[in-house]
Structure 1
Amino acid sequence: MYRLQFILIFLGYFLLFPIFSKQTSKTEVPSSYRVTKGDSWFGIAKKFKISPETLAKLNGRTTKENLYEREVLRIPKGEEKVSVSAESVLKEIPTYPLVQREKVVKKFSELTYDPHKGIQFQRGVSSLVRASLPGKVVHVDYMDGYDNFVILEHQNGLYSVYGNLERIQVTEGQQVKPKDRLGILVKDKGLYFQMNRQKLSLNPEKILERGI
């Protein structure tokens, strides 16, 4: 049941709509959290409505360090504050997700009658798809219209989606660096590329040109 809910959330809201976050009733925030398989700094921080950097600093760590299953993290309670310097928040400039620049054949659109939450590249000579930012592979799956796809989770609530893959060369939970191989494109399609920050769908073309 958990697996099915997970897939529905990612497919329904990453590929077609902005990321969805449910409103929850006010409950007391626990003082600690035990890490489970598949957790990340960014996922846990989102759950408790704090920044990943704050959570990591409170536990004497950085978001670059790996989490370990069943370890216990301290969670800020109430008015407890943890200051994070501006220098500690990594500002990444995305790298191009393909070996060479390809024409965008379908652009990002927020038009209600013709929405397109990502961009579609023209199929080029090289079929290699690469990670645009460092992060964690949080979902690998197949969906009609997008073929095989990979979703990466990055810092500061940012996610990227890579679709139209014939072969996938990463696994869920794997940490990747910029330009690491994610997979190989299908023969007749270019890369589908999407970026989100929390609820907001971002224009990937502008981000690749100007940075985040």
Structure 2
Amino acid sequence: MLRLRYILFFLGFFLILPISSKQNPTTEVPSAYRVLKGDSWFGIAKKFKTSAETLAKLNGRTTKENLYERELLRIPKGEEKVSLSPASLLTEKPALPLVQKEKVVKKFSELTYDPHKGIQFQRGVSSLVRASLPGKVVHVDYMDGYENFVILEHQNGLYSVYGNLERIQVTEGQQVKSKDRLGILAKDKGLYFQVNKQKLSLNPERILEAGI
């Protein structure tokens, strides 16, 4: 039953998830808004009586990044700002899941016509895949399109996913440290990498650059 739970949880990472209405003690429950042509961070924020910085942060972005027509944004209800409690902050910046920084060939996207809940790295010289953060191996399995994959559970409801592996070198229940070896990439594919907080998909590039 526990194994099925993690399979379904992982599957949910790749599907377009409905916006949760469950109250969270550290964040305001968000509603959804579909970006229209000509919209801006500041214009949308003003419409929903929040700040542009809060709006961007909730969506794993910054106000310097462009918005895309028909992009789905999460919007905090009312006038309350989205904030993370001190306990929800990571104590260390995530490490690269690869030995060296590789080009991202497919980026994170919540566009309805082209959703992508993680990022796809280019296949580099090194095939070693490492844990980005310390945590517990909660699931290892195989899925068509993602080859062998590993899911790690971290503190405060964070999960990371590592796909397109040829060999997995950890076992379920194992505790790993940041940069510990997880496995070896498939010969013809780059690493698929995803980060979630509960069921909310975060932009992995932003997490790797600035942390949580």
Shorter-chain TM band: 0.5 to 0.7
Name the CA distance, whole Å, in 2 between partners of 1:100 and 1:140.
24
For residue 105 of structure 1, what is the aligned residue in structure 2? Answer: 105
1:205 aligns with 2:185: no
Please give the residue correspondences for 1:164-175 in structure 2 after superposition, counting only pairs within 5 Å.
164-175=164-175
User: 1:1-212 to 2 correspondence within 5 Å?
Assistant: 2=1, 5-17=4-16, 86=86, 90-212=90-212
Distance 1:156 1:3, change over 3 A: closer
Mind listing any 5+ residue stretches in structure 1 that lack a counterpart? 24-48, 52-84
Deviations 1:76-107 (A, max 9, x none): xxxxxxxxx95896522100000011000000
Q: Is the 8 A contact 1:120 1:190 kept in 2?
A: yes
Corresponding residue of 1:56: none
Q: Residue 205 of structure 2 aligns to a residue in which SS?
A: helix
Contact 1:105 1:120 (8 Å CA) reproduced:
yes
- C-alpha distance in 1, partners of 2:172/2:145? 21
Asked whether the equivalents of residues 3 and 139 of structure 2 are also in contact (C-alpha less than 8 Å), the reply is: no
How many equivalent residue pairs?
Answer: 153
Counterpart CA distance in 2 for 1:100 and 1:176 is 19
Q: Does the 8 Å CA contact 1:13/1:20 hold for their aligned counterparts?
A: no
Contact 2:104 2:121 in 1 (8 A): yes
Report SS of the residue matched to 2:136: strand
> What is the CA deviation profile of residues 89-134 of structure 1, one whole-angstrom value per residue up to 9, with x for unaligned ones?
6522100000011000000000011100000000000000000000
Whichever residue aligns with residue 208 of structure 2, its letter is L
Gaps of 5+ in 2: 27-84
Q: Secondary structure at the match of 1:150?
A: strand
Counterparts of 2:18 and 2:126 in 1: how far apart (Å)? 31
Q: Which amino acid aligns with 1:6?
A: R
Say which SS state the counterpart of residue 100 (structure 1) adopts.
coil
Instruction: Give 2:106's aligned amino acid.
Output: K
Q: Secondary structure at 1:14's aligned position in 2?
A: helix
Mapped to 1, the partners of 2:102 and 2:96 lie a distance apart of: 10
Asked if structure 2 preserves the Cα contact closer than 8 Å seen for 1:18 and 1:201, the reply is: no
Q: What amino acid is the match of 2:170? A: V
Counterpart-to-counterpart distance in 2, 1:19 and 1:174? 31
TM-score, normalised via structure 1 length = 0.65
Distance (Å, rounded) in 1 between the aligned partners of 2:20 and 2:120: 26
Instruction: Tell whether the 8 Å contact from 2:13 to 2:199 is kept in structure 1 after alignment.
Output: no
Pick closer, same or farther for the CA change 1:22–1:180 going to 2, 3 Å.
farther
- Residue 8 of structure 2 aligns to a residue whose secondary structure is helix
The answer to which structure, 1 or 2, has the higher relative contact order (CA under 8 A, 6+ apart) is: 1
Identity between Structure 1 and Structure 2 (%): 76
CA distance in 1, matches of 2:206, 2:174: 27
Amino acid at match of 1:185: L
SS in 2 for 1:148: strand
Q: TM-score, normalised by structure 2?
A: 0.65
Answer yes or no: is the 8 Å Cα contact 1:94–1:133 preserved in 2.
yes
Report the RMSD for the aligned CA atoms in angstroms: 2.6
Q: CA deviation at 1:11?
A: 3.3
2:185 & 2:4 partners in 1: Cα distance?
A: 27
